[in-house]
Structure formats: C-alpha cells, structure tokens
C-alpha cells in the first residue's frame, strides 16, 4: 500500500530513505505481464527510458532485464545509493540523485518512455505533466503504475484493525487493512485518469489492472509496514508497540499471512 493522492507532501516522500534496505526487501515487485504491456505500448523507442522516483529499483531491474536503457531519477540519496549498488553490474542504467522537478535534464535529451512505479503522486502536480511532455519525444509513452496490498484473511484483518485502534485511536487513510481501497489509483475515476484526460498533450489513454497473491512471514509483514510512510511518521515508541502487537497477531495465525496485490497501470502517449 502506498500514499496515493494528487497533492504530494514534499517532506513525506523522503521518509522512505530512513529504511531504504527494508524498503528494498519488503516491497513487492511488479508483474512480468505489466512490463510486457508497457514495452508493447511504447514500441521500439521505449527502449530508451526515464524513470521518475526509481527508489531502490523494484521496477528498474525488471525493465533493465529486457534491455531497456534507463536514466533513473530518485530524490532520496539513501534510496539512490541502494539503487546504484543494485545496478552496478548492469550496462545502460544511469542513476541521478535529485528531484525530478529540478533535475537539469541535458539539452535536447528526450526519451521514448517515461515510467514511474509507486512514485508519480509525489511529483509536484503543478509541474508533473509539463515535465513529462518536455522529457519525451513526440509520441513518447508514459507508464505510471502502483501496487495496492491487502490482507486476504478477514479474521486477521479485523484483529489488526483493533490493534491499531487500541494503540493509535485511528487507522491509516490507505493501508493493508482496507477490505476495499478508500483512496487508490486503480480505475478510470481517479485523479491520474482525470488529469491525463484533461491534458490535451496526451492521447491513447489506456488502463490495465493485475491481481496477484503472495504469502508473507511475520517479519516480512512487519517490514512491509515499517516501509510505509504512515508508520515512519509515528513516534518511535508508538510504532514499536504497534508493530510488536501486529507481530504477535500474525504469529498466532501461524506466522504467515496471505496478501492480495492489485497493480494499476496507466498508459498514454504525447501528442505531436
């Protein structure tokens, strides 16, 4: 689960670097079919790509494995350092530590594909679409995608919700505890679709959804929560007490939980 909203909090997007290694190990990746669909949509020019908010490389490695040349812009230097280490042996991957909004893109350097995994909502809404168009060749593709994760088991979900209410008195706005997303980017009703449709500089809008399921251990569940910004912003003692209770609940359910992952993909091309 992520913080998926149209208006980003500039400070909140940098809390992930505090747990960059945990983020790398805990966060699930993206379906192979999604990578296939993006590259088919982008065509041959999509082999030269710009990745915005690359993080620790969950999407980077999947596209690099298909021979895509990537320039990866990541605002948090701690996340960028993990990404550089992971891609050190790969040719064709360049890591840039810095904000996409202020990145001094080389003159006349334009890409066939702009992709952003779990990160486009952090980009300044006043600038993001103009920056995307400026970075792309005419007809270049935009591919934006996010994962939502949910506890598949209702009984465990209710117990973990009760633990949150006991410890915090509230629930995250958007979390693995939702039976259905309260704030998401999984359909053609949300801000991503509306903003793309309203911008005359984009055409060929396409939306796809992928559903997968995986099993996560107690430690893996706690690591996933630790990597989310809502939990990063809690006072350390409060966070530790809550996560300890969550761990006890997962242990009581056999030390493993099933999680459903829904991945939403948005595709478009620049006009011109």
List pLDDT tens digits, range 125-179: 999 999 999 999 999 999 999 988 888 888 999 999 999 999 999 888 777 887 6
pLDDT tens, residue by residue, 14-73? 555 455 555 555 567 899 999 999 999 999 999 999 999 999 898 999 999 999 999 999
Burial letters 133-146, b for 16+ CB under 10 A, else e? bebbeeebbbbbbb
138 vs 4: CA distance, rounded Å = 28
Q: Which domain holds residue 242?
A: 12-270
Residue 157 CB coordination number (10 Å) = 17
Residue 7 lies in a domain: no
CATH number at residue 245: 3.40.50.150
> Position of tokens 């996010």?
146
Residues 181, 187, 189, 194, CA torsion sign: positive
Q: pLDDT class for 1, splitting at 50, 70, 90?
A: very low
Residue 41 lies in a domain: yes
pLDDT value at position 184? 56
> Position of tokens 């593709």?
141
Residue 98 lies in a domain: yes
Residue 222 lies in a domain: yes
Residue 39 lies in a domain: yes
Residue 164 lies in a domain: yes
Whether 117 has a pLDDT exceeding 80, the answer reads yes
**Domain total of the chain:** 1
pLDDT value at position 2? 41
If DSSP codes are grouped into helix, strand and coil, which group holds residue 209? Answer: strand
pLDDT value at position 230? 85
pTM value is 0.82
Report the percentage of the chain scoring pLDDT > 90.
Answer: 63
Q: How many residues does the chain have?
A: 272
Residue 115 lies in a domain: yes
Average pLDDT over residues 203-208: 94
Residue 3 lies in a domain: no
């Amino acid at each position: 689960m992520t913080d998926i909203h149209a208006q980003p909090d500039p400070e909140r997007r940098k809390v992930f670097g505090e747990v960059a290694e945990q983020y790398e190990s805990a966060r699930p990746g993206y379906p192979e079919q999604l990578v296939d669909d993006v590259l088919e949509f982008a065509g041959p020019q999509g082999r030269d790509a710009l990745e915005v908010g690359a993080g620790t490389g969950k999407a980077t490695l999947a596209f690099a494995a298909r021979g895509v040349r990537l320039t990866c812009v990541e605002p948090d230097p701690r996340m960028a350092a993990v990404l550089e280490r992971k891609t050190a042996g790969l040719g064709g991957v360049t890591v840039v530590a810095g904000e996409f909004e202020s990145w001094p893109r080389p003159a006349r350097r334009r890409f066939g594909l702009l992709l952003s995994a779990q990160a486009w909502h952090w980009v300044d809404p006043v600038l993001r679409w103009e920056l995307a168009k400026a970075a792309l060749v005419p007809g270049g593709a935009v591919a934006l995608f996010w994962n939502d994760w949910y506890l598949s088991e209702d009984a465990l979900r209710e117990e973990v919700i009760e633990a949150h209410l006991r410890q915090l008195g509230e629930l995250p706005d958007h979390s693995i505890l939702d039976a259905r997303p309260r704030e998401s980017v999984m359909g053609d009703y949300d801000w991503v679709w509306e903003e793309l449709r309203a911008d005359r500089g984009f055409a060929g809008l396409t939306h796809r959804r992928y559903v997968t399921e995986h099993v996560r251990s107690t430690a893996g569940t706690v690591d996933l929560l630790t990597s989310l910004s809502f939990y990063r912003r809690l006072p350390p003692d409060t966070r530790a007490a809550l996560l300890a209770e969550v761990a006890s609940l997962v242990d009581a359910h056999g030390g493993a939980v099933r999680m459903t992952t829904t991945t939403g993909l948005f595709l478009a091309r620049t006009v011109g």
